[in-house]
Every structure is written in structure tokens, then in C-alpha cells.
Amino acid sequence: MKTQFKNLLQILDYFKDEATCRELLELQRWNGKPTCPHCGHEKVYRTNRGFKCASPKCYKKFSATTGTILESSKLPLRIWFGAIYLNTAHKKGISSHQLGRDLGISQRTAWFVLQRVRAMLKNNNPALLAGTVEADETYVGGKISNKTYRQRKAIANKFSRDLKTPVVGLVERGGKVHNVVVDTVNNKTVQNMVASTVKEDSVLVTDSAGVYTQFANQYQHEVVNHAQGEYFRNGFHTNTIEGYWSLLKRGIIGIYHSTSKRHLHRYCDEFTYRYNTRHISDTERFINVLSRVDTARLTWNQLTK
Ligand SMILES: [Zn+2]
């Protein structure tokens, strides 16, 4: 199968029908060896519309989307493919209004599609960060949509921190980022996040916030004292994580206008994914996302109720 595409047009030209789309999904999901998603049996029959398990205890029918995040979606796979490409290729993502217009689907449907794409982007098994790792926290959100940029900025300046949602982030210098939405930033939430993400012999760089002093014995801890106007100390800084925060915030304010606390973690997953795959091409990213199709289903009720 041809998987070297250069742009969205080539992808949509090639995946012109459902059968061709399924072929790619099967390849990405099973790598040429379809396995029964009901019982794990490896001998299966191909049928006209999909597969049938060969185990006498099972004999169930299935397709490349059974048990995946795409199961029971009524949308053509081609629309999904377009949505995945557009959402991951655009540096700051794409709004549900824009995606709906681009693909000819309703905004509501586009929103549901995007939330499920974000679920696919979540890294369930992040690798440990090592070397020089910057840690920082930021506050995102507040319901300030339907306002001009200047109005939003004024409101954002006025907002007290507790109206916003805290996110704790870690980034490996030259490497990957990892961030988690927390209820409050305190010693415990920060300890949980850092200890489970940063390798022991790493250098941890933070500002002088009190929640990081606990790491002095655990890591080589370098502190840059922002409160005293210091941004570099002995070559250490927290510019990388701050650059990531500004990308995340500009994206959420500029593209998504605002997001509720409830869904913020999915937007963080989306920005993390794009940042961590910044060295591969848009089409490689598209193929990579499809290999994550096995992600468990996410229903409308789970998202909204
Ligand atoms: Zn089976």
C-alpha cells in the first residue's frame, strides 16, 4: 500500500472509498495479521464485509473498527482521515467550527470527532524524561469566549488564578514534553508528577516556587529566581517549558477560545502530541495516529453527561 503522501489532497485522493480506508486501518491496527478483538484468536476468516473469528468458542464477526474509538461511528472513514490530518498538521489545532466547514459536517459532529481524535493522541505510556528537565506550572482557561482579543486579554489579566485550571508540565531539553491537569498545585501533586516522569540522575530546573524545593535531595536541582528578575543561572533556564505554555495558551485562546476544565486534559494531550512529534512530517503523523486507533471507545454520553 502506498503510504508516502505529501499532503491532504493526496490522502483524500487515495482514500477515495471506504474499502481503501479500511485497508489502511487493518494494516495499522494488525500489521497484516488480523486478530479477533473479541477473544484474541489469531486465526480469522475474511468475509465480504470484514472478518469472522475462526475459534469455535467465538465465531464472532468483526471489522477493523470493532472495539476501537471509531466503532459505531456513522461517518465515512474518509472524513475521519481528513479530521485527523487537519487536527494534527495545523500547528495550533483546528476548531470544531472550522473543521465542520472544511469537511462538510455539523459543528457538533466535528466537536465529537475532535474529542475522539484527541483521545487517540493521548500517550498512555510516556517514556521517562532524562538529562536536563524543566518543570513549571501554569494556569489555563476561564470562560472568556465571544470576546475580542483585547477584551479577553483584559479579562485574563483580571482573572484570579483560582478561576483557572492548573497544569503542571515537564520538558526534556531538546526532547519531549509531558503535562498533567491537576486540581491544585501542591507538594503532593507536583511530587507525584515529577517522581513518576523524571529519571533519577536528571537535572531538574525550576523557578523558585516552594513546591519544587522538595526535590533538592532527589535530583540535581537548579533554581532560576524569576521573582528577582533572573532568567538564566549557570546556563540553566526554564525557557523551553515557558515556550510550550505560550503555544498551549495561544492555541486554546486563539483557536478554541476557551475550554472547560473538564476537557482541558484532552487539549493538553493534543498539544503534547504535536510537540512531541514535531520532527516528523504531517503525513507521517497522520499514519502514526491511525496506528493508535485501538484506543477505547469514547461515547457522546461519556463526554457530555
Ligand atoms: Zn474470537
The partner residues of 223 in beta bridges, in order of sequence, read 206
3-state class (DSSP) for residue 263: helix
Ligand 1 centroid – CA 31 distance (Å): 18
Q: What is the pLDDT of residue 74?
A: 92
- C-beta separation of 16 from 25 below 8 A: no
Ligand 1 centroid – CA 302 distance (Å): 27
Ligand 1 centroid – CA 215 distance (Å): 49
- C-beta separation of 109 from 75 below 8 A: yes
Q: What is the pLDDT of residue 230?
A: 82
Ligand 1 centroid – CA 1 distance (Å): 27
Class of domain 132-259: alpha beta
Ligand 1 centroid – CA 60 distance (Å): 6
Nearest residue to 264 (alpha-carbon basis) of 124, 159, 190, 168: 168
Q: At CA 290, angle to CA 287 and CA 294, rounded to 5?
A: 155
Q: What is the pLDDT of residue 300?
A: 82
- C-beta separation of 172 from 200 below 8 A: no
Taking a 5 Å cut-off on Cβ, the residues next to ion ligand 1 are 36, 38-39, 41, 53, 55, 58
| Strand stretches in the chain, DSSP E | 44-46, 51-53, 61-62, 132-140, 165-172, 177-181, 203-207, 220-224
Ligand 1 centroid – CA 304 distance (Å): 32
Q: Domain ranges in the chain?
A: 1-32+67-121+263-305, 34-66, 132-259
The residue whose grid cell reads 465515512 is 76
Strand order of the sheet with strand 51-53?
A: 44-46, 51-53, 61-62
Q: At CA 47, angle to CA 44 and CA 48, rounded to 5?
A: 160
Question: For residue 157, how many other CB atoms are within 10 A of its CB?
Answer: 7
Query: pTM of the prediction?
Result: 0.87
Ligand 1 centroid – CA 207 distance (Å): 54
With left for phi above 0 and alpha for psi between -120 and 50, is residue 247 left, alpha or beta?
alpha
Written as tens digits, the pLDDT of the chain (305 aa) is 545 788 999 999 999 999 999 999 998 889 889 999 999 999 999 998 899 999 999 999 999 999 899 988 999 999 999 999 999 999 889 999 999 999 999 999 999 999 999 999 998 888 899 999 999 999 987 655 555 666 656 666 665 444 688 999 999 999 999 999 998 999 999 999 999 999 999 999 999 999 999 999 999 999 998 878 888 888 899 999 999 999 998 888 877 776 777 888 999 999 999 999 999 999 999 999 998 888 777 888 888 87
Nearest residue to 198 (alpha-carbon basis) of 179, 174, 172: 172
Distance CA 144, CA 152 (A): 6
